[in-house]
Amino acid sequence: MKDLDHDGAVPTRRDLLKTGAAALVIPLVLPATEAAAAAGAGAIGAYLKIGADNTVTLVSGASEMGQGILTGLAQLVAEELRLDWTQVRAEHAPATTQWPNPYGNPLFGWQLTGGSTSTRGWYAPLRQAAADARATLIAAAHQQYGGTWVAIQGGKLKQGAKTVLFSDVIATAAGMTPATGTPWLGTKRVIGQTVNRLDLPSKTDGSAVFGLDVKVPGMKFGSTVHGPVQGAKVKSMPASSGGYTLYNLGTAVGVLASDTWSAIQGAKAAANKVTWDLPATPANADTTALAAHASALVTSTTATTYVAELVGNPVIGPKAQKIDATYSLPFLAHATMEVMNCTASVTASSCEIWAPTQGQQFIIPLAQGITGLPPEAITVHSMLMGGGLGRKFETDYVAEAITLSKLSGVPVKLTWSREEDFKNDYYRPSALIRVQASLNAKGGIGAFVYRNVSPSIGLQRGQVSSNNPEDTGAVSGAVAIPYKMGARRIEYVPLDPCEVRLGYWRSVGESYNTFAVESAVDELALLAGRDPMEFRKSLSSDARTTGVLTALETLTNWAAGPGPGLGRGMAYLSGFGSYIAMAADVANVGGKLVVRKVWCAIDCGVAVNPGSIEAQIQGGVAHGMSATLWGQMGFVNGKPQAQNFNHYKLARMNEMPEVAVSIVASTAAPGGVGETGVPCVAPAIANAWAKLTGTRVRSLPFYPGATMAGA
Amino acid sequence: MKGTTMPTYTLDVNGQAHTVTVPSAEIPLLWVLRDYLGLTGTKYGCGIEICGACTVLVNGNPERSCDMSVQEAASRKIMTVEGLATDPEGARAQAAWVAHQVPQCGFCQSGMLMATTGAMKAGHKGADIIPELDNLCVCGTYARIKDAAKTL
């Protein structure tokens, strides 16, 4: 276990990206009584609260956005404390500026949720914490009652015929030095089971409180409107519009009203009265101009290039059997079901924030900057998220709510209109990727040269520089692939400048690199005259890769092939600490591609909650399919072209294929799941379509300009 | 609108009468439910009748509440997700949603449940409910919605 060694400073995003499996020692404070927590003692650093009613509440540093993490992490605790599932509760931790952050993900130290890291990061530390809590409670019973005690099912302690509850000894336990290094029970009574999600009843009766649902006494409903193009700033504006005071937020204008609808209407009307400072170079946020620049860079011999991986000296001879294919993917919006929103209450001495957020780590420093208050005056409540998808890492909407409350002097619930949400995203970067590869004498891959040209998230955030563009995120999914590919060179060329605001979209770099890699591998298999499954199995350089490929082969009954009129394609990914292979059957219905069925075999190590894993993969397929067939955000001189779902089509019920999921039994450490289902969808579909029709689609989406009608 | 007389309406929501004073006769039912009555189970998703997160039952029929004015709603019986538990079809739909562990983020599910309940009230059963559901779910819970609906 090694500390990040930052002298108490919060690490930068670059540190986050570079930190591998280093972990912080969890400063576990166990167990805190509810009374102690209410008094503030033990509220920070306490992972478990044992109530007077003998319920056990996990205080989770990871945020729930639909992935089921509160349930999954609570399962770890229930396992080691031998709890009945009905005793188990979970809630979000508060944000803190303590460093090390007691609620930071042990993988990288920060309190944020993303990169499919929560189960990976918390699995061992939380099991250990719960095991140590069990030992501490046993020791407390010994101290309180004498004799030898054991923990038994139901959160109880037993000595002969005598039984006491955890709650009977928590006062004693709170005064003891917590046990350390307690062996895990390892019985897997709860881990590996599809237990019911803790948050589900509340998500069927309207009682779940999402960010959008926060109610604070005396609050006003706010909305903001931003400039018409990327990067616009307020130049001048009237003091009021339509009877509403206008608030200048720099890049937006805010309106407060007695309800959200009035605020949205008021903000829209105000937008026409604002003069905006527009960026000097609109072409830098113009899809057509950016695509032309990318086309030049993808073949340029002089472009500034980051060689992310070099194995041998790949040379593609003139007589080699080879491919030279260029794949293109668009900018994408996150389009979470819940629009950006945040509630804030700022006074002269305090700031309270209710945010649907994946990025707690950033919020107190942000609020300090806006309010000038010390960190101890700032409280952050993490609300349930109506989807995060990477968008709710960002804090732009949180900053707007804090500023509106500060300027107006009243609590404010800020809600963006859907149009503002589409217009002001941190978009998934576009990508233009060229693959030049050749076969060797045995019909395997002899040389593989890969160039990704895409705008750089890292460059936009100052993590890398134009002349040293080591954006590791941009090539994730293209490097360290466990395939025998002969000599290879993996290059990244930043599409710079780019003034489209960029961000992390579910499955990040893999969302575009896996499309290029796995399409190219399919094209190479075709060139070699080999079956795509057999080809990949022959390329596999590790057992877990072979394992998921074989599992998919079995699941699909690969040798039998698809039914009449269908084409079957496949793809594979090692990513997020997991291995996945996916196949898709597609049909040609009047010239249009329809996805009929998708199969997935996943090896994500220990499967904490198989039902949740299945749900995440099914969801990943839906998300990936929407992006493959229809997803696209165009920009004309900085103006986002899709501003609501009518121009940003997503899969509906009737378009959703059946998804069969097979989880490969594994005792390896847990891998990530939330994003793992997304990247293989596009190549599996494109490969299936190529098989069915002979037409190779290298440019996504399949159907640009798709629209969606109302009810 | 400020400076004008604010209209007052009485709404029948989940069997209870609510009197609200709102800024405009045009304010959609969605926002009256959420911001004036505090019934936040009904969600805002798109405001243009596409996503269905705002679906409620109006006289038993599923309607997008983002595009129904308070004025229109005032003479009808409204049911929201908060009223489902006391509705025979609604309670069955809720139970099926839990049994099949349908929701992920859950944001669209109020609308999904209202659309499902409406379809049941219109006489649809089992798999016949599925074509009636055109709401968006970005999490992609469609497979489990289908499984749940088939039991209704």
For A320-385, give the DSSP string.
Answer: S-EEEEEEEE--B----SSPSEEEEEE-SS-EEEEE--S-HHHHHHHHHHHH---GGGEEEEEPB-
> Which residues from chain B sit within 8 angstroms of residue A659, using beta carbons?
143
Integer Cα distance of B11 and A198 in angstroms: 34
- Rounded distance, CA A66 to CA A69, Å? 8
Do A619 and B41 lie within an 8 Å CB cutoff? no
Give me the domains of chain A, ranges plus CATH numbers.
31-205 (3.30.365.10), 211-279+340-415 (3.30.365.10), 286-332+427-693 (3.30.365.10)
Task: Look at residue A44 in the predicted model and tell me its pLDDT.
Answer: 26
pLDDT at res. A118: 95
How many pairs of residues across A and B have Cβ atoms under 8 Å apart? 206
Beta pairing partners, B128: none
- Virtual CA dihedral for A327, A331, A335, A339, nearest 10 degrees? 160
- CB pair distance less than 8 Å for A196 and B101: yes
Asked if A621 has any chain B CB less than 8 Å from its own CB, the reply is yes
Contact A650 B136 (CB under 8 A): yes
Encoded tokens for A679: 């990247």
- The whole-angstrom distance between B40's CA and the closest CA on chain A is 6
Q: Which of B58, B71, B101 to substitute to test the interface with A, most A CBs within 10 Å?
A: B101
B41 Cβ under 8 Å from any chain A Cβ: yes
Ramachandran sector of residue A572 (left: φ over 0; alpha: ψ -120 to 50; beta: rest): beta
CA-only gyration radius of chain A, Å: 26
Q: How far is B47 from chain A (nearest CA, A)?
A: 7
DSSP secondary structure letters along A285-315: G-HHHHHHHHHHHHH-SSS--EEEEEES---
Contact status of A221 with chain B (Cβ, < 8 Å): yes
Provide the pLDDT confidence category of residue B3 given band limits of 50, 70 and 90.
low
Residue A261: closest C-alpha in chain B = B31
- Residue A204: which of B80, B103, B105 has the nearest Cβ? B103
Collect all residues of chain B within an 8 Å Cβ-Cβ radius of residue A196: 98, 101
Interface ipTM? 0.97
**Which of B35, B101, B107 minimises the CB distance to A221?**
B35
Query: What is the rounded average pLDDT of the residues B91-95?
Result: 98
Spans of chain A, pLDDT less than 50: 1-45
Question: What residue in B sits closest to A384 (Cα-Cα)?
Answer: B105
In 3D, which of B55, B53, B111, B44 has the Cα closest to residue A418? B44
Is A331 within 8 Å of A632 (Cβ atoms)? yes
Which pTM does this prediction carry? 0.94
**Do residues A413 and A341 touch, judged by C-beta distance below 8 A?**
yes
Residue B69 is given by DSSP the state B
> How far apart are the CA of B102 and the nearest CA of chain A, in angstroms?
8
Question: Which chain B residues contact residue A194 at CB under 8 A?
Answer: 101
- Which of B94, B130, B142 shows the shortest C-beta gap to A204? B94
pLDDT on residue A32: 37
- Provide the shortest C-alpha distance from residue B80 to chain A (in Å): 9
From A209, A260, A646, residue closest to B35, measured CB to CB: A260
State the pLDDT at residue A47: 80
**Span B63-80, average pLDDT:** 97
The residue type found at A184 is W
Q: Residue A466 has what pLDDT?
A: 86
Nearest CA in chain A to B63: A711
Tell me which chain A residue has its CA closest to the CA of residue B83.
A205
A307 shares contact with chain B (CB less than 8 Å) = no
Helix (H, G, I), strand (E, B) or coil at A132: helix
Q: What are phi and psi of A100, to 5 degrees?
A: -60, 145
Distances (CA, A) of A465 to A469, A471, A499, A659: 5, 9, 15, 42
For chain B, the average pLDDT equals 96
CB contact under 8 A, B3 and A243: yes
Residue A186: per-residue pLDDT: 76
Q: Beta-carbon neighbour count of residue A541 at 10 Å?
A: 12
Q: What angle do CA A275, A280, A283 make, to 5 degrees?
A: 115
In this complex, is the C-beta atom of B44 within 8 Å of any C-beta atom belonging to chain A?
yes
pLDDT at position A711, please? 60
Cβ separation of B44 and A260 shorter than 8 Å? yes
Picking from A208, A262, A711, the nearest residue to B52 by CB comes out as A711
Judged by CB atoms closer than 8 Å, whether chains meet at A206 and B41 is answered as yes
> DSSP code of B49?
S
